[in-house]
Structure 1
Amino acid sequence: MLNIQKEGLAIRGAKPVREKWLPYGRQWIDDADVQSVVDVLKSDFLSSGPKIPEFEKGLAEEAGTKYAVAFSSGTAALHAACFAAGIESGSEVITTPLTFAASSNCVLYMGGKPVFADIHPETFNMEPQAILKQISLHTKALIIVDYAGQPAPYDEITDMASAHGLVTIRDAAHSIGSIYKDRRVGMSTDMTIFSFHPVKHITTGEGGAVVTDKKELYRKLLMFRNHGITRDAQELQRQYLPKWYYEMQILGYNYRITDIQAALGTSQLQKLDQFVDRRRELASLYNEAFRQMPELAFQRQAEGTSSSWHLYPLRWKRDYFTAGRDDIFQALQAENIGVNLHYTPVYLHPYYQSLGYRRGLCPNAEALYDEIVTIPLYPLMTDHDLQDVVDAVTKVYNYYLK
């Protein structure tokens, strides 16, 4: 059982809970990971070599899909997914405001218009009825984000998408390893994207991927990451076929991942279950602790889902505290707890404001933003680290509670 102290110390002048800084997220690299990279550095291929299809095969198996295409970043993967979905000028794509900007920027890259649907106030994921209200004659696709690792309500959303002829893109940057109704993370949508940034479940340094069951989308994704070029004899438009021949058929990008990254990703993928199990264990301990503090709220887990817990967002209900989120954020940092904020609603960023988006579009997301703080959660955390976080939260909670 965690040690929950009901009498917190006064913050001013009190000794911090921790002497050393605890980050909110951190990669876990072991000797096997290092050796996998060294082996590639000593090989003939640093890029465009055999480690990339090996990594992609592992990703497809993990996702439960036929195909996987690895990219240089999760953002590149999102961009490619929008290209493959046919997003263009005049297209509208519905997504959540409670996400990193890349989830909607990818629509802008293709000349489309992001449309924001509000979230459920307890699961923090997109609300199906809010999506339905935003569907128009111009809607081409949905980008559904599994916020913090919690799978969105895919049965409702994909039924809705099918009824309106919409492409579904799952932004699973937070949720590799999660389960939705006994289905793996890639099995519910036309395309699913992953991110392999160092704070994610597995890392390639920077990197991303798109998985799909649809061969036509797979072909488009492959060309898009490689300048729009193909060497596949079945796809070439000309009959003159010397061995060196290739064709650029679309305007693509250099979004290739390297063999160095792919080797690290393959090694990391072998430990994904271990990483996710530890995240779930830590989240369960947090849940146990914070149930004793009713003025705090944590993400409700929807029935039939198993989150992979990329983040642990903690909501400080403003009516119960003498300070706002920013003061609470700073107080936790003063305890050497590396809290963060996920996220400013995308349309509140200055660039989106310059496009005409305005406050008030998604009241639930805005209310959550005003009260939320992300506390540390990553597999390398020890039980002692977690207890320090709970002690710091308890201390700040007692200090500011009305």
Structure 2
Amino acid sequence: MNRPAAFAMILPACLLTLGSLSACSALDANGESTEPRPVHSSAETLDPDEINGSGTAGAGERSTGVVDPGWDAAAQEAEGVFLSLHEAETDLEFRAVDSDGTILWSAQRPRVCSGFLVTASADGPVAVLMDQQSGPRGSLATTASGFDLHTGEKLWGPVEVPGPLLGSGLVFAGPPKDFIGPGGPRTALDPANGGVLAVEDGDSPRILALLERHLVLADGEELIGEDLEGRRLWTRPVADLGLTAAEARETPWQTIGGSHALIGSGGGQRTLIDLRSGDTVARDIDGAGFDSHSRTLVTSDSKLHGFDLDGTKRWDAPLDGGDGLSAVGAGLVVTESSTRDADDDGTQTRSADDGKLIDSDEELPEHEDFGAPHHIADSGARLVGDPGSPLLVPPVNRTAKK
């Protein structure tokens, strides 16, 4: 595997050729793009008289306090700023919204370029958007660019990449051989500057995930954890995860708190590992989350469990049959029952610090029409409703902006 210098901005010629064959997800010669532009206006809020419909209330009108940013895809968040996209008739509009419901900036992309990622760098969170640019002989090439999540200022790019984002960090895959089957060679980019961190070629280690400041590779049936400077942190047999190397390459990897990874796709078969050491924290779990207020890792199986970052068990809490972990953040752990009724919204709220039940009416006022939150930011803002078109509930007792 080649490891170009951190400032490298151009991919090898073989990957440029692959990139010219595949755009964001298809070819769209008529799509238009714009750089992020400042907005700094409040998103609309839901009208309480039409809470189950499509009604919204403008600024100053009576509302529920629930913000509808108009997103049509799952939102990603860092440092209290959320990013997702709105599907317009001819293009996509990406909207970055802060915890109080203010649209900070927006950017336009072709409809085929729906891939995006909110990731971390040493200088703060980065929003990565996909795009297309003209290639040789009238072809279209796929590119990625990084922007400051808070301001929309361009940090790097466009960088030509071999294909779409894979969903396991800033990793891109070329088209499969003969355009059928698993994706082709992968490339990992540095979130801070768009430099190429790793490229698959020949018999080089395979790229599995790039999560925050950790690169995970597979060399044969051995897993390798590295930092972004290429220093090896750990190795372990991939069989320890109950997977083959090929399965580990295709299974989802999700960052938890920037220092851990949740591996697998659910059904009580997920594993939580420490990206700093490679050690397993919990296995055969349904889900996991991290609360930065109390520095607690939370996992769920038949019970809830709280861990210190080093994997030391801190607490256990009961989990009723059919209940599942819904969200962790702002000092809270929220669970939701799969069987809700008119008198009970089926949610419970616990302290992330010790797992004890707390008064959810005070800490997390209910919006029964939307169910439990599926994401809670450190700011206390939370996402509710359909995860594919989420609504935003600003934090409780938030102070007015100055």
TM-score, normalised to structure 1, is: 0.25
Q: Considering fraction of residues, name the structure with more helix.
A: 1
Q: Looking at both structures, which has the greater relative contact order when contacts are Cα pairs under 8 Å and sequence separation is at least 6?
A: 1
TM-score, normalised to structure 2, is: 0.25
